[in-house]
């Protein structure tokens, strides 16, 4: 089998019709996308790839330099532009076994037809102008302007790049050589592989993963059944309900996996750890649940005792038992109790004037022990909102300095989080890749928080192009490493 390759430059994603046209042209010519990889440093890898290509074609050093110098112009102009330095590599396969020349003609025709479509859609080209004094300047111009400038400056002006797509015309490889070449360059590997069918998400910034949702079994507003329906309406493909130290979810379909958010202690600080895909009936998991239930009951009585000693607040035993039996241990439920007994006028007042001022002790399981038990229950551990949530935030620098003692006990970090911006997400994504950790995506939806909550929301602002590519990488990793197991 032979494969051709398209490299889609960042500017290709300016218009959704470009991608639709490419897919239509491939289908019309009995071709399909066999694989897809994110090129995180487009300039560097395309430059190195071009070198390999030209060295195969030109044994003569002068011929090689002559042709490679033309490529350098495009790289320099791209470096001067405002475009993101992220692209996509598509490996193209034909449904039939063709001779290399036949396949080459087909791909060339696809390229030319696509370029014509793009040319009709946008009326400009990028030009690289080298002035007499050696200064370089990037110009936008249409074709008429280009002709005029070419007449004026002659050799000093060159067409740098156009149309947002580059076809490696002469690289029709046998499969093993193709993957070997791209892998050696660091382009084609598991770390940046994405599903070709997910590419349209790059145009509309859509997300379909939310692995951090709370139900009314802990401190959320909606029932599990209502959350299922909300996810369905929002087209959330992969989801997890992660209630605090409690598990009460019956899996109805493949789209939901087992999840719990545990409160634990690490480095003498409270940490939230998301656990996924454990075997709910495993004796180690049941042991954790009993430990956490006991800890929550102890913390509840500890808080109630302080309320009695400090403010003379007392409650009926049946109301306390309701909290325990319903797993409603969060501060909000104690505040609701204060309102019920008319000790305060609202939940917010109860929290700010009383409960948040209490000592909360350290009734928590140790992260090391939690990690050991969850792994024995065949589950995954993920550090929740590593830069903090709406109550408290820390910088990425502070996190990275203190994270070494945490990462050895977890399998991943929650990289895409509803309150983080694009810069924070990029930093966390790179940190996860460097430390070989899984990335996850979560909104931390409760349905009641004093923030802009929405199921499936995984960034406080719209994801930029690079983070959208990162998201697609993460999505495939989640499918392969978490949901595949389920």
The DSSP H or E segment spanning 318 is: helix 317-325
pLDDT of the residue at 56 = 77
Residue bearing tokens 């080209």: 125
List, in order, residues 6 or more apart from 353 with CB less than 8 Å away.
344
Which of 17-31, 115-129, 221-235, 328-342 is the least confident region?
115-129
Region for 395 from its dihedrals, namely left if φ exceeds 0, alpha if ψ lies in -120 to 50, beta otherwise: beta
pLDDT of the residue at 147 = 74
CA gap 49, 168 in Å, rounded: 9
pLDDT band at 411 (very low <50, low <70, confident <90, very high): very high
> Quick check: 149 pLDDT over 90?
no
pLDDT of the residue at 79 = 72
Model confidence over 298-343: pLDDT tens digits? 999 999 999 999 999 999 999 999 988 888 888 888 999 999 999 9
| CB hemisphere CA count around 351 (13 angstroms) | 9
> Quick check: 53 pLDDT over 90?
no
CA gap 44, 179 in Å, rounded: 18
pLDDT of the residue at 486 = 47
Which of 82-86, 301-305, 394-398, 479-483 is the least confident region?
82-86
Q: What is the pTM of this model?
A: 0.85
SS3 143: helix
Token pair belonging to 276: 């996924």
More confident residue, 410 or 55: 410
Q: What is the CA radius of gyration of the chain?
A: 28
Share of the chain above pLDDT 70, in %: 87
What is the arithmetic mean of pLDDT over 147-152? 74
The residue among 229, 274, 283, 223 whose CA lies nearest residue 249 is: 223
Which of 181-190, 248-257, 285-294, 453-462 is the least confident region?
248-257
Share of the chain above pLDDT 90, in %: 40
pLDDT of the residue at 485 = 57
**Cβ(437)–Cβ(409) under 8 Å?**
no
Model confidence over 220-261: pLDDT tens digits? 889 888 998 999 899 998 999 999 888 876 655 556 788 999
CA gap 483, 277 in Å, rounded: 8
The residue among 473, 402, 404 whose CA lies nearest residue 440 is: 473
| CB hemisphere CA count around 311 (13 angstroms) | 16
């Amino acid at each position: 089998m032979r494969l051709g390759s398209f490299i889609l430059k960042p500017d290709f994603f300016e218009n959704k019709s470009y991608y639709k046209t490419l897919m239509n042209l491939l289908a019309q010519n009995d071709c399909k996308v066999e694989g897809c990889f994110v090129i995180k440093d487009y300039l560097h890898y395309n430059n190195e790839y071009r070198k390999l290509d030209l060295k195969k074609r030109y044994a003569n050093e002068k011929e090689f330099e002559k042709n490679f110098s033309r490529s350098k112009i495009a790289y320099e102009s791209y470096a001067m532009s405002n475009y993101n330095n992220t692209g996509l590599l598509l490996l193209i396969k034909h449904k039939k076994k063709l001779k290399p020349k036949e396949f080459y003609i087909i791909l060339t025709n696809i390229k030319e037809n696509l370029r014509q479509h793009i040319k009709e859609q946008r009326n400009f080209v990028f030009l690289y102008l080298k002035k007499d004094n050696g200064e370089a300047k990037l110009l936008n111009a249409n074709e008429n302007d280009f002709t005029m400038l070419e007449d004026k400056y002659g050799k000093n002006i060159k067409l740098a790049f156009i149309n947002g797509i580059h076809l490696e015309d002469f690289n029709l490889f046998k499969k093993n050589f193709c993957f070997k070449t791209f892998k050696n360059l660091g382009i084609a590997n598991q770390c940046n592989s994405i599903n070709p069918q997910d590419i349209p998400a790059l145009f509309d910034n859509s997300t379909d993963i939310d692995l951090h949702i709370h139900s009314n079994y802990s401190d959320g507003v909606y029932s599990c059944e209502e959350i299922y329906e909300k996810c369905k309406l929002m087209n959330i493909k992969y989801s997890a309900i992660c209630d605090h130290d409690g598990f009460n979810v019956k899996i109805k379909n493949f789209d939901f996996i087992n999840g719990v958010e545990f409160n634990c202690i690490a480095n003498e600080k409270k940490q939230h750890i998301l656990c996924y895909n454990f075997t709910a009936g495993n004796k180690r998991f049941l042991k954790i649940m009993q430990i956490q239930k006991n800890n929550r009951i102890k913390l509840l009585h500890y808080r109630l005792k302080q309320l009695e000693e400090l403010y003379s607040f007392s409650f009926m035993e049946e109301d306390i038992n309701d909290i325990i039996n319903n797993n409603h241990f969060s501060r909000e439920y104690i505040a609701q109790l204060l309102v019920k007994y008319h000790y305060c006028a609202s939940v917010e007042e109860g929290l700010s004037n009383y409960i948040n001022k209490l000592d909360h002790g350290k009734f928590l399981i140790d992260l090391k022990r939690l990690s050991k038990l969850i792994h024995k229950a065949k589950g995954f551990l993920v550090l929740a909102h590593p830069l903090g949530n709406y109550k408290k935030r820390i910088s990425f620098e502070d996190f990275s300095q203190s994270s070494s003692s945490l990462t050895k006990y977890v399998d991943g970090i929650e990289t895409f989080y509803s309150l983080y911006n694009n810069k924070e997400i990029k930093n966390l994504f790179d940190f996860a890749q460097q430390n070989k950790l899984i990335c996850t995506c979560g909104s931390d939806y409760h349905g009641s928080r004093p923030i802009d909550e929405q199921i499936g929301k995984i960034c406080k602002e719209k994801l930029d192009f690079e983070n959208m590519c990162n998201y697609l990488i993460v999505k495939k990793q989640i499918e392969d490493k978490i949901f595949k197991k389920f």
